[in-house]
Amino acid sequence: MFAEPSAKTADLLQRMRDFFDRYIYPNEARHHEEMAAFRRAGNPWQLSPLIEELKPIAREAGLWNMFLPHEHRGVPGISNLDYAPLCELMGRVSWSGQVFNCSAPDTGNMETIERYGTEAQKDEWLEPLLAGRIRSGFLMTEPAVASSDATNIQCSIVRDGDHYLINGRKWFSSGAGSPDCKIYIVMGKTDPDAPRHAQQSMVLVPRDTAGVKVVRHLSVFGYDDAPHGHMEVLLENVRVPVSNMLLGEGRGFEIAQGRLGPGRIHHCMRSIGAAERALEMMVDRLQARIAFGKPLAAQSVWHERIAESRCMIDQARLLTLNAAWKMDTVGNKEARAEIAMIKVVAPNMSCKVVDWAIQAHGAAGVSQDFWLAEAYAHQRTVRIVDGPDEVHRNAIAKLELAKRR
Ligand SMILES: Cc1cc2nc3c(=O)[nH]c(=O)nc-3n(C[C@H](O)[C@H](O)[C@H](O)COP(=O)(O)OP(=O)(O)OC[C@H]3O[C@@H](n4cnc5c(N)ncnc54)[C@H](O)[C@@H]3O)c2cc1C
C-alpha cells in the first residue's frame, strides 16, 4: 500500500495490537456481563469497572490521548494520517476507545477546547478530560427541528449581565448518560437576527449547573449503549458565566466546521475497523459450517461477497487515508470534499460488509452471542451522525457542479 504507517505509528500500532490481545478481546464478555448485571439491578448508568481498571494500564503503556493533531502542554501530537490505523483498530471493539481516552465525543470536544478555548477554560476542563478523570457531551441536535441543517437549532443563549441564560431541549447527546460526564459543549442562538451563519454560538455548560436535566435515554435499535448513552437533555433557565463562551458570540459555525472534520474522519476510521473484523468473522464462519455436503465457503455466492468486501474495505481505507493526508497538508476546510466523500463511503461500506457477515452466521448473526448485531446497529447510525449521507452527497455534488460552471 502506498501509505505505509510511519515508524511512530507502526510502533504504537504494534503495542496497541498487543494490548488488544491481552486486555480488550479477552474481556469483551466481561464488559457485557458487568453492564448486564447493572441493567438487571436497575441502573446501567454507572462507570464500567472494566474500563476504569484498564485506563491506568493503557496510560502507563503510553497508549493514551493519541488523537490530538498537535502538541499540547506536553501531550505529543499525532497527524490524522498517523492516527488512522490506530483509530481503525479501536473500531473493532466499540468501548475500546475509552480505555485509551480516545472516544467520541470526547476527542472532538477536547480538540475544540484545545483549539478555541481560553487558557482558563483549558485549565478547568481540558486538563481533567485529557487525564481521563471526566467525560463530556456535545449538545447540538434538537428533537423539535431538522438538525442536519444546523441553522435550525433553536436553543436560546441570552446575555444577562455577567451571565448567559440558556433554554433549550437537546437529544441524542452521546456520552451524557455516564456519571463522569461533567461538561457539555452546547450550541444555541445568541442572535436570531444576525446573518444565517452568525446566529449560533457554543458555550461550556457544566453538568451540575442548576436547570440542567437529563430527561431520558434514546435507544439505538433497542441498545441503550450504557453507560455512555444517547440522552435527551433539558436546559431550563441555565446560567453560566460569560467567560464560558467558546471563541465568541456568533462563531458557533466556525467551531462546528473545525470540530466536525476530525470527528467525521474518526467515525470512518472506526467503520473500516468494524468492517475488517466482520470480514474476518464471515470468512471463519463460512469455512467452519457445512451445508448441503460442503463448507459454506465453497459456494460461489460467498466468493463474490468475500471478494467484494475486500475491494470495498480497501477502497474506503485508501479514500480515508487520502482525506487524512489532505487534512494534514492543506487543512480541514480545503479537505471538505474528501471528508464528505469518506463520510458517505465508509459507513455504507461497513453496513454492507457487516450485513453479509450477519447473513453468513444465519440466526446466530442477529443474536447477542456474536458482536455483529451490535456492530450493525452502530454502523447504521454512522450514516446519520455528523451529517446524514444526503447532506454530504449534496456538498460533493455542489463542488463538482461548481468546477464546470
Ligand atoms: C447514535 C447517535 C448519536 C448521536 N450523537 C449526537 C451527539 O452526541 N450530539 C448531537 O448533537 N447529535 C447527535 N446525534 C444526532 C445526529 O447528529 C443527528 O441525528 C443528525 O445530524 C441528523 O439530524 P436529525 O436527526 O434532526 O435529522 P433531520 O435533520 O430531521 O433529517 C432527517 C433525514 O432527512 C434527510 N435529509 C436531511 N437533509 C437532507 C438534504 N439536504 N437532502 C436530502 N435529504 C436530507 C436525511 O435522510 C436525514 O436522515 C446522534 C445521533 C445518533 C443516531
220 in contact with ligand 1, CB cutoff 6 A: yes
322-365 residue pLDDT tens: 999 999 999 888 999 999 999 999 999 999 999 999 999 999 99
Least confident stretch, 215-224, 237-246, 256-265, 316-325: 256-265
At 2, is the pLDDT very low, low, confident or very high (cuts 50, 70, 90)? low
Contact 80, 327 (CB under 8 A): yes
Pairing of strands 230-241, 163-174: antiparallel
Domain count, the chain: 3
- The residue segments making up the domain with residue 158 are 135-249
* Cis peptide upstream of residue 143 (ω within 30 degrees of 0): no
381 in contact with ligand 1, CB cutoff 6 A: yes
CA 139 to ligand 1: nearest atom: 11
Report DSSP letters for 102-133, one per residue: --TTHHHHHHHHHHH--HHHIIIIIHHHHTTS
CATH for 263: 1.20.140.10
Residues 179 and 139 in one domain: yes
130-164 residue pLDDT tens: 999 999 999 999 999 999 999 999 999 999 999 99
CA 320 / ligand 1 centre spacing (Å): 22
Residues 210 and 340 in one domain: no
Protein residue with its CA nearest to atom 12 in ligand 1: 141
285 in contact with ligand 1, CB cutoff 6 A: no
CA 184 / ligand 1 centre spacing (Å): 19
How far is C-alpha 216 from the geometric centre of its chain's CA atoms?
Answer: 21
> What percent of the chain has a predicted confidence (pLDDT) above 70?
99
Protein residue with its CA nearest to atom 43 in ligand 1: 390
CA 225 to ligand 1: nearest atom: 1
The predicted structure's pLDDT at residue 1: 44
The answer as to whether 1 is a domain residue is: no
The predicted structure's pLDDT at residue 6: 87
Over residues 166-192, mean pLDDT = 98
Measured CA to CA, the distance from residue 351 to residue 378 in angstroms comes to: 9
395 in contact with ligand 1, CB cutoff 6 A: no
Residues 41 and 76 in one domain: yes
Averaged pLDDT score across all residues of the chain:
95
CATH for 57: 1.10.540.10
Please give the grid coordinates belonging to residue 72: 499540547
Residues 271 and 371 in one domain: yes
Residues 225 and 257 in one domain: no
Protein residue with its CA nearest to atom 36 in ligand 1: 390
188 in contact with ligand 1, CB cutoff 6 A: no
Q: Residue 132 is which amino acid?
A: G
* Cis peptide upstream of residue 105 (ω within 30 degrees of 0): yes
Residues 271 and 399 in one domain: yes
Over residues 112-130, mean pLDDT = 96
Report DSSP letters for 219-255, one per residue: -BTTB--TTT-EEEEEEEEEEEEGGGBSS-TT-HHHH
Residues 340 and 398 in one domain: yes
The answer as to whether 11 is a domain residue is: yes
DSSP E strand stretches across 95-162: 135-139, 156-160
Pairing of strands 135-139, 181-189: parallel
320 in contact with ligand 1, CB cutoff 6 A: no
Contact partners, residue 189, CB within 8 Å, separation at least 6: 153, 154, 155, 156, 157, 199, 200, 201
